[in-house]
Chains A and B, each alone.
Chain A
Amino acid sequence: MPTYKLTYFNVRGRGELIRLLFAAGGIPYEDVRIEWDKWPELKSKTPMGQVPTLEVDGQLMICQSMAIARFVAREAGLLGKTSVDQARADMLLDGGMDLGKLFTEMVMEKDASKKAEKKKEFGEKSLPPFLALYEGFAGGNGYFVGDSLTWADIAFFNMMDFITAEYPSALDGYCNLNKVVDNVKTNPGVAKWLKERPVTDH
C-alpha cells in the first residue's frame, strides 16, 4: 500500500475535506500540520508555493486541494460508481464551492460593519436558495449521488460544518440534507476522526 503524507497548516480550511476522505476510506496517512513560521522555508519546496500538498511514497508530490481530494476520493472508492455519477458528484461539489467562496469572503471581511452586512446578505440571499436547491438534489436516502456515500456527501458535510458555526439553524427543516449529514457523521471512519481531530478555529 502506498504511504501518503498530507502537509497543511494546523487548520481545517482547505485540508479538512482531504482528511475526512482519508478517514472515510480507512486509508492511513501522515497528517503533517506545520506552524506558520516554518512555512517560508517549506514554500519553495512545493510545486506551486502552496499547501496542502500530498506526497506519495516520499517521492511524488501534488498540490491543489481539490486535485488531492479527488485523488483520495478515487483511492477510497468514494468518487461515484459510474462516469455519469462522477460527473454529478463533481457538479454538486463545484456548486458548493461557489457558495463556499461567498462564505469565505464574508468571514474574511476585516471591516466590522461591512462584515455584518455581508453576513446578513449571505444568510438571507445566498444560503437559503442554495439549501433549497440541494435539498432537491439529495435523495430521500440521504445521498447526493446514487444510493451510497460519495465524496459529494462528505464535501457538503464539511462545508456545512463551517457554515453552521456562523448560522447554527441553517439546516433546520431540510429533511434530506440532514440525512446526508447523518450518513456522513455515522460513517465509522468519519465518526472516529470527528472525535479525535484537533479542534481549530477554522
Chain B
Amino acid sequence: MAPQYKLTYFNLRARGELTRFIFAAAGVQYDDNRIEFSEWPALKEKTPMGQMPLLEADGKVVCQSGAIARYMARETGLGGKSSWEEAQVDMFVCGVDDLITKLCDAHFASDEAVKEERTKALGPYVSKFLDNYEKLCGPEGHLVGTSLTYADLAFFVGMHDIWQHRADALEKYPKLAKVAETVRDNEGVAAYIAERPETNI
C-alpha cells in the first residue's frame, strides 16, 4: 500500500513550498495541510521542536524543512542518482538556502539602517549567485545530471522573489533559464502552480 503523507504548515510558500513542489513534480499524493495562525499554539507543543513544517509519513513525524525536502526527494527519486550526484544536489540546495537567508535577513530587518544596508548588498549578491550557478549548471536544463532533481526545484522556488523584482532576471543566464523552463514544463509542477493559493511569502 502506498505510504500516506501529510505536510502541515501555514498557508505560506516560505519553508513549505519546496516540499510541495517535490510532491507535485513526482506526482505523489499528499495531504497539503495548511493551518491558520490561530490553530498553531495548540498544535505547537505536539510537534518535535515546536516548529513547522511537519511531515507525517505513515505515522512517523519529522520536522525541519531541509530534512523533510531531502527525505521526500529521496523517496521520489529526485535526490540524485549516485552518492556524488546527491552531494552536488545538496550543494545547489544549500546555496539556494543561503540566498533565501540573505533575502529574509534584508526583508525582516527591524533596524532601518541595517535593512537599507542589507537590501543594497542584495543586488551584487544575487548577481554573484546567478553567475556561479550559470557556471556550474549542466547543459541540459538541469543543474545536476540529465534528469530532474530537487536542486532544479529549489532553484525555481528560490527565484520567486527575484522574479518579483525583475521578471527578466535570467535573461543573461541561458542555462539557468533552461532549468526554469524545464521545471515550469513539468506536468505536476504546472498543475500545482495553476492551483496553489496566492500568498505574500
- Provide the A157-200 mask, 1 if CB < 8 A to any CB of B, else 0: 00000000000000000000000000000000000000000000
Shortest beta-carbon contacts, A-B, top 5: A90-B67, A67-B90, A71-B87, A87-B71, A94-B64
Can you report 8 residue pairs joining A to B where beta carbons are below 8 Å apart? A47-B132, A66-B90, A68-B87, A71-B90, A74-B86, A84-B60, A87-B70, A93-B67
Q: Which of A68, A83, A93, A133 contacts B49 (CB 8 A)?
A: A133
Q: Which residues from chain A contact B81 at a C-beta distance below 8 Å?
A: none
Contact indicator B62/A64 (Cβ below 8 Å):
no
Q: Which residues of A contact B94 (CB under 8 A)?
A: 64, 66-67
User: Are the CB atoms of B91 and A64 closer together than 8 Å?
Assistant: yes
Q: How far is the CA of A75 from the CA of B86 in the complex (A)?
A: 12
B55 cross-chain contacts in A, Cβ below 8 A: 87
Segment 127-171 of A: residues with Cβ below 8 Å from B: 133, 137
Interface residue range, chain B: 20 to 34
B residues engaging A (CB < 8 A)? Answer: 48-49, 55, 57, 60, 62-68, 70-71, 74-75, 83-84, 86-88, 90-91, 93-95, 128, 132, 135-136
- Chain B residues within an 8 Å CB radius of A86: 71, 74
CB <8 Å contact, A71 and B84: yes
Complex: A12 Cα to B70 Cα, angstroms: 26
Q: Tell me if B74 and A74 are in contact (CB < 8 A).
A: no
Residues in A whose Cβ lies below 8 Å from that of B66: 90, 94
Give the secondary structure class of A's interface.
helix
Q: Give the residue among A48, A66, A94 with the most B Cβ atoms within 10 A.
A: A48
With the chains together, A68 CA to B75 CA distance in Å?
21
Q: Flag if A48 contacts B71 (CB, 8 Å).
A: no
User: A71-B83, A74-B86, A90-B71 are known contacts. Are A49 and B128 too (CB-CB below 8 A)?
Assistant: yes
Residues of chain B with a CB closer than 8 A to A67's CB: 87-88, 90-91, 93-94
A27 within 8 A of B: no
Asked if A11 is at the interface (CB within 8 A of a chain B CB), the reply is no
**Contact: B91 with A95, CB < 8 Å?**
no
**Bound-complex Cα distance A74 to B86 (A):** 10
Cβ of B48: which chain A residues have Cβ within 8 Å of it?
91, 137
Neighbouring B residues of A88 by C-beta, 8 Å: 62, 67
Residue in contact with B91 in the complex, picked from A62, A87, A133, A137, CB distance below 8 Å: A62
Residues of B within 8 Å of A91, CB to CB, are 48-49, 62-64, 67-68
A32 CB-CB contact with B under 8 Å: no
Assess whether A56 is interfacial by the CB under 8 Å rule.
yes
